[in-house]
Amino acid sequence: MAAGTKPLSKRKKKQGAIPASKNGGLTAATADRHELYQFSVQNVETEIDFVDAEFERLRGRKAALLREDFCGTGNTSCEWVRRRDTNRAIGLDIDQPTLDWGHERNLAALTDSQRGRVSLVNRDVLAPGDAVGVDCVLAMNFSYWLFKTRDELRAYFRAVRESLGPDGVFFLDHYGGSEAMSEMVEKRDIETDDGRKFVYEWDQHRYRPVTGEMDCRIHFRFPDRTRMKNAFEYTWRLWMLPEIQELLVEAGFSKATVYWEGDELDEDGEPTGEGNGEFEPTDSGTADPAFVSYIAAIP
């Protein structure tokens, strides 16, 4: 036996596949990609915590009417109307099957009173029609990156600016850092509220430095060793924070503020490299390899 070679019987055995029947039936052929997305990508509670508190800090009152652009299944809108009896939400998206899923799953889970205060509308965010005069507009999970030129993004920002009431606020999120432009796959183990397990894979598949475009994909892996490949696919432009702030001002906003996440500290008070979920206004930020920040723009 060659030095260093372990006999087969002593090698670490590969873990066997866990049958879907032992994992609440979760398997690639039948899993619901929207449900998996909501469990792995979105955290609507923390998002709404930030929006609600920051709107009140900026405007000295509570927001009531929220518009969720690129709403998909309207998960954030549902969280908004759950927060207060006076809250109302309008979600805009152009994909009817996704809106239908939102009605059947997210809106159906609300009380009658909550459901009466949210509407999901099949409409282009560039032509919001009567979905105007709102307290806040949200463009989260980087959805506005589907606008790939300065002219397109400025036109969207202008449409938002014209949709806001006089003391409204536009909230966006942003993802950046050196890792944002590398081609890589990040995997995360997810466990649902009722104990079902799966792996979320964020695939930064292709980045084109000359155009700034990136192809991103989401895949899901299951403990029975099945995989749902390309459950979601996006081609985006990776926008940088200064460009976004400049375009917001060019679109008529008077001010755009970037909020940076603080560091989680270990028991010795040293940063762990993870964020702590607390976002504070900043003029500079830090050269973190990957960061998510919020932006608030006011007319």
- Which residues here bind ligand SAM, judged by CB under 6 A? 41-42, 70-72, 92-95, 98, 124-126, 140-141, 143, 146
Q: How far is the CB of 269 from ligand SAM (least distance, A)?
A: 34
Antiparallel, parallel or unpaired: β 164-176 and 291-298: antiparallel
Q: Based on CB atoms, which residue is closest to ligand SAM, 233 or 266? A: 233
Q: What is the 3-state secondary structure (H, E, C) of 239-298?
A: CCHHHHHHHHHHCCCCEEEEEEEEEEECCCCCEEEEEEEEEEEECCCCCCCCEEEEEEEE
Q: How far is the CB of 232 from ligand SAM (least distance, A)?
A: 7
Q: How far is the CB of 74 from ligand SAM (least distance, A)?
A: 9
Please check whether residue 261 is in contact with residue 278, taking contact to mean a CB–CB distance below 8 angstroms.
yes
CA of residue 63 relative to chain centroid, distance: 21
Please check whether residue 171 is in contact with residue 144, taking contact to mean a CB–CB distance below 8 angstroms.
no
Please check whether residue 171 is in contact with residue 51, taking contact to mean a CB–CB distance below 8 angstroms.
yes
Q: How far is the CB of 282 from ligand SAM (least distance, A)?
A: 23
Q: Based on CB atoms, which residue is closest to ligand SAM, 43 or 192? A: 43
Q: Based on CB atoms, which residue is closest to ligand SAM, 42 or 226? A: 42
Q: Based on CB atoms, which residue is closest to ligand SAM, 18 or 292? A: 292
Q: Based on CB atoms, which residue is closest to ligand SAM, 94 or 108? A: 94
3-state secondary structure of 108: coil
Q: How far is the CB of 248 from ligand SAM (least distance, A)?
A: 18
- Give the chain's end-to-end CA distance (angstroms, integer): 75
